[in-house]
């Protein structure tokens, strides 16, 4: 089966045909480093990781670039609250992101780009847009993109251009805004007192870049003016990715990105998980309940990346039971087997169909139940699949439960043997209270 992805730009499934095969360029929107990333953010980064691993598994030469937004409204605001320089403040959370990345077994991007290292590239793009008439300076010296001048504005988010032009007479300086705020957006923000020491002296004047221009500069510098895939969460479609397309294509006259891929939201209580709503969890919150980052990864792979996924403690508990059972079974299998080609063909078919990880996981359980396969061949085949899934199945260690949990399990078993079901249930609830599912 040919590799195909759902392209947000065309709202259709398309066979993947890279611009310069076998090389593939991917740009992934990464974290804004003003705080610890929550588990909703990590759905986007795990999705991008699965994409990269899939392409590598299928023989492509992948170059992935991920940005680290270290200057924007939020980083400036919170660094000032913390009484730290912008660089020191954002570097701390950058390192926190790297730690979480490793715990989640996310393969490192080939290049991580900090926005503050690309100011010259941003200025160059903005100057080109000014020269071509797509941008203009406001009274305070800020530079804005004129969406009226871009006849294709709205093509990614499928906004109605007629409606846009009616409501596009104003402009907006904030980095992030809602879909009904369709105004000219800031490319360069002139300095004001609220920015403190976060500014650069350039040909555009004293100021700092807008959020959207950062990603255009970082991606094109490292992947070229046209590249294959851009990833991010659905919340990035508008305004961020829409604005990236507008400023990039108007500056270069070329197609910016061929395939746009977006993951669905991770919900909590059926609402979008977000720092602004205060309804988010960190990896640390999971760890405090005895849930490993790889269990969370397993939980995400059980749903298609484009679907909405509701996070509940019950659901993650079920994922934990499944993952620990999977790990235990694979750990007991002998090594040095051969990869079963029939199962490998099925796996390749599933992941080639827009990264079908739910079917890929189901296939692993099918293999474990297949009595016709040699145990060593089962292990070799599953470990081959894990090159894509990244569940750490090649680095398993015996599951060692804490002493208090082991003691409770022993007590429960004794209660069950004595048919004291009430006591057994009480002990089970104690164990679950410690974060373990029986």
- Return d(Cα 419, Cα 233) in angstroms, integer: 51
Digit-coded pLDDT (tens) for 237-260 = 999 999 999 999 999 999 999 999
Rounded to an integer, the average pLDDT of 304-321 is 95
- Tokens 């596009």 -> residue: 168
Contacts of 139 by beta carbon, 8 Å cutoff, 6+ apart: none
Rounded to an integer, the average pLDDT of 356-383 is 98
Among 82-91, 155-164, 179-188, 253-262, the minimum mean pLDDT is found in: 155-164
- Return d(Cα 77, Cα 170) in angstroms, integer: 25
352 and 2 in contact (C-beta within 8 Å)? yes
Grade residue 411 by pLDDT with cuts at 50, 70 and 90.
confident
- Identify which has the larger pLDDT, 434 or 379: 379
Angle between helices 119-132 and 211-223 (to 10 degrees): 100
> pTM of whole model > 0.85?
yes
Rounded to an integer, the average pLDDT of 81-106 is 97
Rounded to an integer, the average pLDDT of 259-273 is 91
- Tokens 């004595």 -> residue: 418
CA dihedral 403, 404, 407, 412 (to 10 degrees): -140
Q: Which residues pair with 74 in a beta bridge?
A: none
DSSP of 338-396: ---HHHHHHHHHHHHBT--HHHHHHHHHHHHH-TTS-HHHHHHHHHHHHHHH---GGG-
Grade residue 174 by pLDDT with cuts at 50, 70 and 90.
confident
Q: What's the pLDDT at 308?
A: 97
Digit-coded pLDDT (tens) for 19-57 = 999 999 999 999 999 999 999 999 999 999 999 999 999
- Return d(Cα 277, Cα 309) in angstroms, integer: 17
Biggest distance spanned by C-alpha atoms of the chain: 85
CA triple 98-99-104, angle to 5 deg: 95
DSSP of 39-62: HHHHHHHHHHHHHHHHHHHTT-EE
How crowded is residue 357: how many other Cβ atoms within 10 Å of its Cβ?
23
- Return d(Cα 178, Cα 427) in angstroms, integer: 49
Q: What's the pLDDT at 168?
A: 53
């Amino acid at each position: 089966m040919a590799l195909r992805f759902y392209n947000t730009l065309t709202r259709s499934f398309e066979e993947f045909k890279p611009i310069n095969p076998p090389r593939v360029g991917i740009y992934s929107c990464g974290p804004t480093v003003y705080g610890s990333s929550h588990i909703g953010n990590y759905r986007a980064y795990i999705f991008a990781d699965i994409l990269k691993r899939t392409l590598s598994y299928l023989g492509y030469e992948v170059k992935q670039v991920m940005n680290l937004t270290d200057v924007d409204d939020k980083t400036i605001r919170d660094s000032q609250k913390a009484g730290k320089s912008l660089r020191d403040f954002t570097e701390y959370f950058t390192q926190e992101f790297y730690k979480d990345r490793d715990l989640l077994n996310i393969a490192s991007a080939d290049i991580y780009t900090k926005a503050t290292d690309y100011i010259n590239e941003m200025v160059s793009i903005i100057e080109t847009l000014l020269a071509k008439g797509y941008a203009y300076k406001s009274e305070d010296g800020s530079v804005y993109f004129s969406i009226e001048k871009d006849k294709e504005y709205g093509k990614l988010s499928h906004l109605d251009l007629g409606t846009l032009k009616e409501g596009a007479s104003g402009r907006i300086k904030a980095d992030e805004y809602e879909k009904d705020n369709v105004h000219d957006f800031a490319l360069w923000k002139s300095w004001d007192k609220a920015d403190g020491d976060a500014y650069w002296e350039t040909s555009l004047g004293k100021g700092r870049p807008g959020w959207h221009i950062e990603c255009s500069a970082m991606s094109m510098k490292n992947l070229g003016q046209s590249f294959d895939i851009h990833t991010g969460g659905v919340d990035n479609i508008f305004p961020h990715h829409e604005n990236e397309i507008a400023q990039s294509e108007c500056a270069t006259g070329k197609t910016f990105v061929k395939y746009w891929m977006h993951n669905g939201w991770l919900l909590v209580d059926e609402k979008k998980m977000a720092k602004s709503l205060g309804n988010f969890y960190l990896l640390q919150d999971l760890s405090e309940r005895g849930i490993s980052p790889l269990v969370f990864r397993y939980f995400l792979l059980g749903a298609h990346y484009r679907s909405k996924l509701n996070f509940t403690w019950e659901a993650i508990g079920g994922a934990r039971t499944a993952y620990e059972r999977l790990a235990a079974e694979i750990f007991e299998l002998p090594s040095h087997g051969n990869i079963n080609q029939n199962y490998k063909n099925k796996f390749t078919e599933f992941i080639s169909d827009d990264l079908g990880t739910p079917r890929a996981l189901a296939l692993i359980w099918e293999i474990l139940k297949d009595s016709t396969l040699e145990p060593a061949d089962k292990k070799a085949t599953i470990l081959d699949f894990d090159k894509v899934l990244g569940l750490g199945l090649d680095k398993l260690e015996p599951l060692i439960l804490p002493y208090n949990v082991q003691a409770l399990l022993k007590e429960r078993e004794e209660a069950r043997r004595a048919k004291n079901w009430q006591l057994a249930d009480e002990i089970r609830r104690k164990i679950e209270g410690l974060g373990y599912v029986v």
